[in-house]
Amino acid sequence: MGLLDGKVAIVTGAGRGLGREEVLALAKEGCKVLVNDLGAGFDGSGESKVADEVVNEVKGIGGEAIANYDSVTDFNKAKAMIDQAINEWGKLDILVNNAGILRDRMIFNMAEAEWDGVMAVHLKGTFNMTRHVAEYFRREGKADPKRKNFGRIINTASDAGVLGNMGQANYGAAKAGIAAFTLITSMELKKYATVNCIVPMARTRLTTDATPKFADTMKRIDASGFDIFHPSNVAPMIVFLASDKAGRINGEVFRIAGDKVWILRGWHSVNRIDNAGKPFTPQLLLERIKSELMKGIPKKEDIMSVSSQLVEKM
């Protein structure tokens, strides 16, 4: 018996890296999977038939899968993708929004197309897929009220969005938007589906080919031979969040890397100053912001400090 026997899933960006590992993990637990991948490079250019290769891998382990090469940036093709899964298997239970590209550039050099392209794949793509699957989950849930929060939506953010990373204003903004999108849609869909988000730290084309400064770190293997940043380490969290056992987990953001899982909480108040019922003046703020409001507040996390937690014992 698999944890996902009889379930049907769509995984976007599933031809390589994280998406491929997620598909294989879902299939091993009995899930039927629509494997979506444009077949493009990390910047969204070019094409290849990688989705078919993953489908063949799934069939090789006795699972069921079909390929789809449409772009998540197209609102109507996103709907067609969901219809394809339903037409093939009669239903849809799980959506994993994983598709992504990188077009890194410092903000003073970034072209409009580099901004728009990243936003289109990550943020609009996540919206497009979620919008259509949400309509389906709601329709199914209203038709049978006993099926409470049966659907599962799992989004993919990044530490570039929750912590920030230089040269990735487009990518980080899109990923921060996905985290916020997760929180809001989890409230709106709680009768019919759970919506959660992962922040993976793994070796993919986006963290090696597209971001060379992380390449050496991402190759790290500990003294026992454990491949810390292998993308397969992330996939079990997808399986868990997609399962019926995770029905009470909703609107959460998890970082996963190696042998560690964090739970993240976003913007929150860390300190406050008051002015006795009167509005502040610029002069008062000048006096009190640094001396009171910012005094003793926690130091901001950064990507490299989080990465170091994974390799600190090596």
Q: Which residues are catalytic?
A: 158, 171, 175
- Closest to 258 (Cα-Cα) out of 180, 190, 312, 297: 312
Is pLDDT above 70 for 46?
A: no
Which of 78, 60, 64 has the alpha carbon at shortest distance from 4? 64
Q: What is the pLDDT of residue 210?
A: 47
pTM: 0.91
Q: Are the C-beta atoms of 300 and 163 separated by less than 8 Å?
A: yes
Whether the pLDDT of residue 128 is over 80: the answer is yes
Sheet containing 8-11: order of strands: 65-68, 32-36, 8-11, 94-96, 151-156, 193-200, 253-257, 260-264
Largest interatomic CA distance in the chain:
70
Which of these ranges, 28-42, 58-72, 151-165, 200-214, has the smallest mean pLDDT?
Answer: 200-214
Percent of the chain scored above 90 by pLDDT? 79
Does residue 295 carry a pLDDT above 70?
A: yes
What's the whole-number average pLDDT of the chain? 92
Give the start-to-end residue ranges of the domains of the chain. Answer: 8-264
Q: Please check the confidence at residue 54 and state whether its pLDDT lies above 50.
A: yes
Average pLDDT of the segment spanning 93-100: 97
For the cut 70, the answer to whether the pLDDT of residue 182 exceeds it is yes
Handedness of CA 105, 262, 98, 64 (dihedral sign): positive
Task: Write down the pLDDT at residue 42.
Answer: 56
State the pairing for strand pair 65-68/94-96.
Answer: unpaired
In terms of Cα–Cα distance, which of 135, 115, 144, 158 is closest to 264?
Answer: 158
> Which of the residue ranges 130-134, 144-148, 168-172 would you say has the lowest mean pLDDT?
144-148
Mean pLDDT of 164-188: 97
Structure token digits, residue 249: 């987990």
User: What's the confidence (pLDDT) of residue 226?
Assistant: 84
SS3 content of the chain, % helix, strand, coil (to 5): 45, 15, 45
pLDDT of 216 higher than 80: no
In this structure, is the dihedral angle defined by the CA atoms of residues 287, 293, 299 and 300, taken in order, positive or negative?
Answer: negative
| Mean pLDDT along residues 52-56 | 97
Average pLDDT (97-118) is 97
Q: Specify the pairing of strand 32-36 against strand 8-11.
A: parallel
Mean pLDDT of 264-289: 95
Indicate the CATH number for domain 8-264. 3.40.50.720
Residue in the block written with tokens 């049978």:
144
Written as one letter, the residue type at 171 is: Y
**Which element (helix H / strand E) includes 108?**
none
- pLDDT over threshold 80, residue 215: no
Contact criterion met (CB below 8 Å) for 32 and 65: yes
Residue 62 makes CB contacts below 8 A (sequence gap 6+) with none
- Of 59 and 210, the structure prediction assigns the larger pLDDT to 59
Q: What is the pLDDT of residue 223?
A: 66
CA-CA distance, 264 to 257, in Å (whole number)? Answer: 13
- Contact indicator for 40, 46 with CB cutoff of 8 Å: yes
Q: Which of 36-40, 62-66, 158-162, 282-286 has the lowest mean pLDDT?
A: 36-40
Which of 44-53, 268-277, 290-299 shows the lowest per-residue confidence on average (mean pLDDT)? 44-53
